[in-house]
Amino acid sequence: MTSTSDLTTRTAELLTAMGADASFAAATPDGAGLVTSSPITGGTLGYLQPSADPSTVVDDAVAAFRTWSTVPAPVRGGVVRELGELLREHKDALGELVSIEAGKIVSEGRGEVQEMIDICDFGVGLSRQLYGNTIATERPGHRMMEQWHPLGVVAVITAFNFPVAVWSWNTVLALVAGDTVVWKPSEKTPLTAVAVQAIFEQAADRAGVDPKIAQLIIGERDAGEALVDDPRVALVSATGSTRMGREVAPRVAQRFGRVLLELGGNNAAIVSPTADLDLTVRGIVFSAAGTAGQRCTSLRRVIAHESIVDTLVDRLSSAYATLPIGSPLETTTLVGPLIDEAAYDGYVSALEQAARDGGKVVAGGERVAEELGGYYVQPAIVVMPGQTEIVKHETFAPIIYLMSYSDLDEAIALHNDVPQGLSSSIFTTDLREAERFLSAAGSDCGIANVNIGPSGAEIGGAFGGEKETGGGRESGSDAWKSYMRRSTNTVNYSSELPLAQGVEFL
């Protein structure tokens, strides 16, 4: 059995291997340090001292932007290339640290680092593709076009569940765009941030650029609030709860800044009577139980056709009974711990409310492996009589609510009848059903999948959702435009001065 002491020692080794300061392990609590812990045992790993005043860090970011914004974009891509190479070198070490601090199983920890590598590859190519448009003009002897320019300082505020990948989605695009970045990670996962910052600074050194183009702030909530309220921060990209988004958005809007919000998800899978149930069960189990249900894209609701719902419940219950639950550092484990006691309390509270609403737990629902010290639970399946308020609420834990439907219109209505709009899926072999689900009359989410679950996005597509999910888009496609400002240019190369719309003046 792994002890907290063992984890502290191993964490220090990993940080040292990645070139980061591991002095946290020897620190003692003095009331000023940020507690670092591991959900594997629930124990304290050590203490980190808060970073410098956020205003001072933003000062440095503003100064660095003046130079960085003038560097040609393909040259800016060089630091991203170096970052990707260093992440390849440290993939196993950083992935293990993600497992220790966030509780992800080994393959998911490494997978998160691979996602960082993938976005670096994307960013290098993007650095030569920041295209604008040439636009037809009504005036003879004129040319009209668009250019994209660096935006400014970007604040990146990340959540515990993807402690490093979300930083990379934002930072790689921002750096290629010519922006500078200030990162405020979750208080629950600061050590992975320390490691990533050390790796980035090595990349900056290799590329011969100012490391202050991407900086890190370690601190509590007030550090993030300082970035939200600082008028020099052009864009706040914040990942977290809908409650957090409701606070961030109006504060940034009040100073006319930009926001990119990635908030709550309450993701569903519609299971058609034509679905391949072997594939469906595998897709549901990963989406619902993977990361212990702590992804914003985790599956929360299953809406199954009444003709196959009983069979699906039986098959899912059987699959859940075989899930290995335990330390995420064991290679055989598929479900690791919840992040902390508050997450466990939310799990218990949701199941109690579902029972009061007439729901029946048919699999899971209990705390297990208490001897490990962390909060490990059995992923739960709850058959519900309908979509009650608890079903419409996102609980960050491995619970799926299962309901039945009689026709596709009813299923889509149920699917869309929640405040969140992140990710969605349908399992069907009927082409018409699939296309209907993907149409404007189907899923109202930012991500809609067919025959895969809602969890597990690739970096090539823009990631984000609608409604209370916040409307932001990160990662691939044209998400880079969020990190730049658009300039429409008109050039008169004639000796005349015709005015638009036929206006005559002088």
From first CA to last CA, the distance across the chain in angstroms is 87
The residue type at 71: V
Q: What is the largest CA-CA distance in the chain?
A: 87
Please tell me the distance from the alpha carbon of residue 262 to that of residue 60, in angstroms, as a whole number. Answer: 27
CB–CB of 263/245 below 8 Å? yes
CB–CB of 97/14 below 8 Å? yes
Q: Which of 108, 112, 262, 433 is catalytic?
A: 262
Secondary structure element (H or E) that encloses residue 197, with its range:
helix 190-207
Please tell me the distance from the alpha carbon of residue 197 to that of residue 216, in angstroms, as a whole number. Answer: 7
Token pair, residue 352, equals: 């109690």
Please tell me the distance from the alpha carbon of residue 229 to that of residue 252, in angstroms, as a whole number. Answer: 6
Angle between the N-to-C axes of helices 106-126 and 73-89, in degrees from 0 to 180, rounded to the nearest 10? 160
Token pair, residue 40, equals: 């594997």
Please tell me the distance from the alpha carbon of residue 485 to that of residue 482, in angstroms, as a whole number. Answer: 8
10 Å CB burial of residue 166 (0-12, 13-18, 19+) is buried
Catalytic-residue membership of 262: yes
Helix (H, G, I), strand (E, B) or coil at 389: helix
Please tell me the distance from the alpha carbon of residue 108 to that of residue 100, in angstroms, as a whole number. Answer: 12
Handedness of CA 81, 84, 88, 93 (dihedral sign): positive
Please tell me the distance from the alpha carbon of residue 175 to that of residue 448, in angstroms, as a whole number. Answer: 29
* Distance of alpha carbon 12 from the chain centroid: 26
What are the start-end ranges of the H helices in 323-441? 341-356, 389-392, 408-416, 431-438
Rg of the chain over Cα atoms, rounded to whole angstroms, equals 24
103's torsion region: left (phi>0), alpha (psi -120 to 50) or beta?
Answer: left
Could you please report the per-residue DSSP string of 228-248? Answer: HH-TTEEEEEEES-HHHHHHH
Please tell me the distance from the alpha carbon of residue 115 to that of residue 106, in angstroms, as a whole number. Answer: 14
Beta-strand runs (E) in 431-483: 447-450, 462-463, 466-467, 474-475
Please tell me the distance from the alpha carbon of residue 269 to that of residue 319, in angstroms, as a whole number. Answer: 17
How many CB atoms are closer than 10 A to CB 481?
A: 16
Active site residues: 262
